[in-house]
Structure 1
Amino acid sequence: MTAVPRFTLYSRSYCHLCEDMLAALQAFMARLGMAYAVDVVDVDADPDLVSRYDELVPVLVDAAGSELCHYFLDEAALRRHLGLQAAAA
């Protein structure tokens, strides 16, 4: 059985870029037909997260805590992370 990819989306309330990245991640994974899990964490609830991510949100990280992208979903980076070939142009 293959492990389901797990992500954390560092976000904040009333952030349209954060909402957009979550929607883009959901659409991307749906197109792949791949199960996944995502935890959405409000950076403003933790001073350490604010100091780390403040102006970078939204930030998508993998289960190991490696940053995959910020501001907008980087589908190429996500494909590399998932071990998928880039789509033909």
Structure 2
Amino acid sequence: MRDQLQPYQQEFSFDVEIIEIDEFPELELKYNELVPVLLHGEHELCHWHLDETALRDYLQHLQTETI
């Protein structure tokens, strides 16, 4: 998923923070079966596989909010 995000990072200029959930018991309990999971804050965009449509829609929505 990390590699698949790179084109979107270039297009939409955002950083990705990788968090190893095994180091945080509360995250491991919440996301254990969903890893990898892509979040923006508390908003879950997708898990297991990158949902490119959901990601693009979300990023475009964020762009229109900041204009």
- TM-score (normalised: structure 1): 0.62
Percent identity, aligned pairs only?
Answer: 41
Displacement, 1:70? 0.4
Say which structure is richer in strand.
Answer: 1
Say which structure is richer in helix.
Answer: 2
Structure 2: 5+ residue stretches without partners: 62-67
Aligned residues: 61
Provide the rounded CA distance (Å) in 2 between the counterparts of 1:38 and 1:82: 13
**What RMSD over aligned residues (CA atoms) do the two structures have, in Å?**
1.4
Q: Which residue does the alignment assign to 2:53?
A: 76
Provide the rounded CA distance (Å) in 1 between the counterparts of 2:4 and 2:54: 13
Choose between structure 1 and 2 for higher RCO, CA contacts under 8 A separated by at least 6 residues.
1
Structure 1: 5+ residue stretches without partners: 1-20, 85-89
- TM-score (normalised: structure 2): 0.80
Q: Which amino acid aligns with 2:20?
A: D
Match of 1:46 among 24, 38, 50: 24
